[in-house]
Amino acid sequence: MGRLEGKSVIITGAGSGIGRAASLLFTQEGARLIAVDRTDGVKETVAQIQKAGGTAEAVLGDAGSEQDVIGFIARAVSKHGRLDALWANAGISGGLVPIAEQTVEHWQEILRINLIGPFLAIKHAIPHMMKQKSGAIVCTASVAGLKSGASGHPYAASKAGVISLVQTTAYSLSGTGVRINAVCPGLIETGMTKPIFDNAKERGTDHKIGQLNPLKRAGQPHELAAMGLFLASDEASYVNGQAIPVDGGLTASMPYAGKPI
C-alpha cells in the first residue's frame, strides 16, 4: 500500500518542475490528486499520471487568485469527500534586477504568487482539515528565504515570508491535528532555473554548477518531491512548523572560496 493510499491531495504549480515530479510521485503512492497550474502543462502532467495508472484531475487556476483557490479546494472536497494534504508549490522567480531598477508592480506580482498564494491555500484548506482533525500542508519556500545570495530581492523576501507563514501557522493550528511544513530547495534543475543552466553551458562552465554545496551538483525535482511526500504522509506525524532545506548541504555552512581546510 502506498504512503498516500486513498488520500485526497492538491498540488499547485503541477504543470512542470517540482510540481510535476511531486504529482507523479504522490499518485504512484496512491493519492487521489487535484493538479493545479495556470498553464496547460498541468494537462500533460495528468496525462502522464493516468498513463501510469494513477488518479488525477487537471485544474487550470491561478494560485494567487482567491476565487481560483476557493474553486480548486472545493473541487477536491466535492470529488473526494475530504482534503488530506495540500502542497502550495506554485511560484515565480522574477529574475535578477538591480534593486534601484525594481518596480512596485514587479514586487507585487512575485509576492502575490509566492506568498499570498500559500496564504490563500492555507486559509481555505484548514477549515476542511480542522473538521477532520487531521491534514498536512507543505509549502515551497527556498534557501533564498534562509540566507542571502541565492536569488533576487523580491523572490528571496517572498520565500522568507513563506517560512515565517509556515512557522506562525503551525502555532495557530495548535491542537487541531493539522501539520504544516516548508521545503527549501537549493539549486534544482527546473524550468525556472533553466537560464542558469543554459548560460553556464554557453560559457562552458556547466561543470561548476552546484560546486558551492558539498555534494558538488545541482538537485533534481524528484529529490524535492521525495521530501514533500514524507512531509505529507503519516510518516512525518511529529514533524511540524519546520523549514527543511533540500540543497545538497549548501546552507550547512557559510560560503567560502578555495579548498576545504
CB 149 within 8 A of CB 213: no
DSSP per-residue codes, 69-92:
HHHHHHHHHHHHSS--EEEE----
Residues 6+ apart with CB under 8 A from 213: 186, 187, 247, 248, 249, 250
- Cell 534562509, located at residue: 146
Give Cα separations from 131 to 76, 84, 143, 219 (angstroms). 15, 11, 33, 37
Q: How many CB atoms lie within 10 A of CB 33?
A: 28
Find the angle CA(110)-CA(168)-CA(190) to the nearest 5 degrees: 40
Question: Catalytic amino acids?
Answer: 155
- Name the grid cell of 72: 480548486
Among 34, 24, 33, 29, residue whose Cα is nearest residue 4: 29
Residues 6+ apart with CB under 8 A from 54: 24, 27, 28, 31, 33
CB 59 within 8 A of CB 35: yes
3-state secondary structure of 136: strand
Cα distance between residue 12 and residue 87, in whole Å = 6
